[in-house]
């Protein structure tokens, strides 16, 4: 989520359905799911982390090209 009080933010192109599907799968086994988006570089991957008291997992999702 961009920081709207700041002039700097980036737009990324990822499949919302894919993010929803990944979050749904991770929610079955983990208590906390976090979406990490690079603030100023839309070519960097989106990282989804999931964790609970014992384990943690990461999913790396590359943005889609818009050109």
pLDDT digits (tens, 9 = 90+) for 32-56: 999 988 878 888 899 999 999 999 9
Q: What is the pLDDT of residue 9?
A: 60
Distance of CA 23 to the CA centre of its chain: 9
What average pLDDT does this structure show over 11-21?
86
**C-alpha pair distances (Å), 67 with each of 4, 8, 42:** 26, 22, 13
| Closest to 10 in 3D by CA, of 37, 36, 39 | 39
Report the percentage of the chain scoring pLDDT > 90. Answer: 46
Q: Which two tokens stand for residue 30?
A: 């983990």
Rounded CA-CA distance 61/67 in Å is 18
pLDDT band at 4 (very low <50, low <70, confident <90, very high): low
């Amino acid at each position: 989520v961009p920081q709207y009080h700041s002039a700097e933010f980036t737009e990324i192109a990822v499949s919302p359905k894919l993010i929803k599907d990944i979050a749904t799968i991770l929610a079955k086994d983990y208590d906390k799911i976090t979406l990490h988006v690079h603030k100023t570089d839309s070519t960097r991957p989106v990282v989804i982390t999931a964790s609970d008291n014992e384990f943690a997992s990461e999913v790396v999702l590359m943005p889609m090209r818009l050109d």
